[in-house]
Amino acid sequence: MSAIDPKQSSVQLDTSDVDPRVGQPVVFAELWDPCNATDIRRWVQGMDYPNPIHWNEEFARASKFGGIIAPQSFVINMDYGHGAPPSCVGKIPGSHLIFGGEEWWFYGTPVRPGDKLLQERRFDGYKIADTKFAGPTMFSRGDTIHRNQHGSLVAKEQATAIRYLRDEALKRGMYKTDQSGPRQWSEEELQEIAKIRHAWILSNRNGVSPRYAAVKVGDKLPRRVVGPHTQVTFALECRSFRQNVWGTWAFKIPAGIKDPWTTQDSGFLGGMTYDEEGCKIDPRMRDGLFYGPSSGHINRDRAGKIGMYRAYGYGATMGAWFHDYMAYWAGHDGYVWHSKSQFRGPAFEGDATYIDGEVVEKLDRSPYGRPVVVLKVRMTNQDGAVLVDGTAEVELPY
């Protein structure tokens, strides 16, 4: 979403309930149970990431890891809310939200079956810009620190949420041209997608890491494709998140906070909120496939009510595709230490997402105490529209 001069808009966001919360700890939800190998397998299945180290027991046991291990992208699945809650704090009447991007720092601690992650969250702040999509738009930032049950630091995420006025987005109709329905693919086109996907799977199925000394600036990573996306694939993504299983989490309130905002009322309009009382009897009433702000992902009518007009994918899923793509290339002896990505548009129903990467820099002496390569990664749809731009520092064996 490109920004234009904020002075051009007469419509304003009401930030009166947001401003007092800047810099404050955020009420968080904690998953009751440790993860298990099935959780990891379900995750990579939902993300369409067929790396055998994460699902094939015999392969994993024969590897250096000695068993199933979670991908780095799985950290978001040990949390509640796809990483977005600390970036969506305070009520903005008549608003809605989409994920705008994220920055991750990893600390070398893997997630394995039996682990449980604990989180600390903080609302970092925001800026407002006028966008073609919805006029005055808030880009708000929230931090989450992840530690495991032993207190070891696993990762830190800074998520960016895009909060906008629903009515203004409907008036501008940026995605209205997409309401004709999902793209239809010919059999020949589907075969070509399958060919690209299969070639990518074979590109490093054994997890052999490129040697740092052999990699050159300008080297291209193998192309990956995900899709075509459907309401079914979006639902599978949703169900792979542990938080979306009924009864898996509970709210935790940070000590000493006078107004912990336990209502979680962001100002979303009717029809796009949860039934907090009804879900105590019928958990479907807090199930994102049926109710609430996420229901537009798989419901075209509800997507239209928030300016999307077609079912569309999850920001956290695009983040997983991004990290999994780099990790697959880096192999078993590689590691993503830091990444930063901007989400420029959603993956719509009927589209396919193509992922391409390139080595743009080599750092013999990095902040991580080891040599890393800098990767630039871009996700586009079949028409070349950019969905994600990202960069990352990735360790390779010397």
Q: Could you report the per-residue pLDDT of 207-246, keeping only the tens digit for each? A: 999 999 999 999 999 999 999 999 999 999 999 999 989 9
In a domain, 5, yes or no: no
In a domain, 156, yes or no: yes
| Cα–Cα dist 364/70, whole Å | 28
CB 71 within 8 A of CB 42: no
Q: Which residues pair with 105 in a beta bridge?
A: 156, 338
User: Helix or strand or coil: residue 342?
Assistant: strand
pLDDT value at 114 more than 70: yes
Q: What is the mean pLDDT of the chain?
A: 88
Q: In this predicted structure, what is the pLDDT of residue 4?
A: 42
In a domain, 2, yes or no: no
Residue 23 has phi, psi (to 5 degrees) of: 80, 0
Average pLDDT over residues 40-55: 97
User: Helix or strand or coil: residue 256?
Assistant: coil
Amino acid at 184: Q
User: pLDDT of 290-306, one tens digit each?
Assistant: 877 777 787 777 776 66
In a domain, 7, yes or no: no
CB 348 within 8 A of CB 233: no
| Cα–Cα dist 307/96, whole Å | 10
Q: What stretches of the chain adopt beta strand conformation (E)?
A: 3-4, 28-31, 95-106, 117-131, 135-148, 153-165, 224-226, 249-252, 335-343, 353-363, 372-381, 386-395
Q: In this predicted structure, what is the pLDDT of residue 267?
A: 67
The token pair at 333 is: 């002896």
Start-end of H helices in the chain: 37-46, 57-61, 166-172, 187-203, 231-240, 300-305, 315-330
In a domain, 4, yes or no: no
Structural domains counted in the chain: 1
Average pLDDT over residues 356-374: 94
Q: In this predicted structure, what is the pLDDT of residue 179?
A: 58
* HSE-CB for 209 with a 13 A CA cutoff: 19
The token pair at 12 is: 């304003």
> What's the pTM?
0.88
Q: In this predicted structure, what is the pLDDT of residue 176?
A: 66
pLDDT value at 45 more than 80: yes
In a domain, 206, yes or no: yes
Question: Hey, how many other C-beta atoms are within 10 angstroms of the C-beta on 323?
Answer: 26
List of residues 6+ apart from 309 with CB closer than 8 A: 175, 176, 178, 179, 300, 303
Of 8-17, 144-153, 184-193, 328-337, minimum mean pLDDT range: 8-17
Average pLDDT over residues 162-187: 78
Q: Which residues pair with 336 in a beta bridge?
A: 394
pLDDT value at 3 more than 70: no
| Cα–Cα dist 40/20, whole Å | 38
CATH number for the domain harbouring residue 259: 3.10.129.10
CB 30 within 8 A of CB 106: no
Q: What stretches of 18-152 adopt beta strand conformation (E)?
A: 28-31, 95-106, 117-131, 135-148
Write the CA distances from 387 to 76, 168, 181, 284, integer angstroms. 20, 22, 19, 31
In a domain, 179, yes or no: yes
pLDDT value at 338 more than 90: yes
In a domain, 126, yes or no: yes
pLDDT band at 5 (very low <50, low <70, confident <90, very high): very low
Q: Which domain holds residue 145?
A: 14-395
Q: In this predicted structure, what is the pLDDT of residue 278?
A: 84
Q: In this predicted structure, what is the pLDDT of residue 85?
A: 85
